[in-house]
Amino acid sequence: MADWDGEPTGGAVPWSAVLWPLVPAATAGPPAGLLTETAYYLSEYLGYLSDPRAVPYLLFEAALLSTAAGLWVADGYPGLRAP
């Protein structure tokens, strides 16, 4: 068996390669992992939303949400009624 770099592991499971989304891998580059990346992109997104240039984006999102909610109400609240 070999790890992601093609190096033989002697039949052992390369856990760092298997668990990389959850646990940052030991690499020469910046740390990568689900929790690390989620925190990074969430902070970037919140920083973007605090920018005045995000107002058109927020208005568009509010229009989409309003349209979806209006269609859901017009359709008779599907999913809430017992069959």
Which pLDDT value is given to residue 13?
72
6 φψ region: left (φ > 0), alpha (ψ -120 to 50), beta (else): left
Which pLDDT value is given to residue 79?
82
Q: Which residues contact 17 (CB under 8 A, 6 or more apart)?
A: 3, 4, 25
> Which residues pair with residue 2 across a beta bridge?
8
* Closest C-alpha to 36, from 15, 44, 11: 44
| Sequential pLDDT tens for the chain (83 residues) | 444 555 655 667 767 667 766 666 565 555 566 777 888 889 999 999 899 999 999 999 999 999 999 999 999 888 877 55
Encoded tokens for 38: 């989620």
Which pLDDT value is given to residue 78?
86
Which pLDDT value is given to residue 83?
58
**Domain extents in the chain:** 15-74
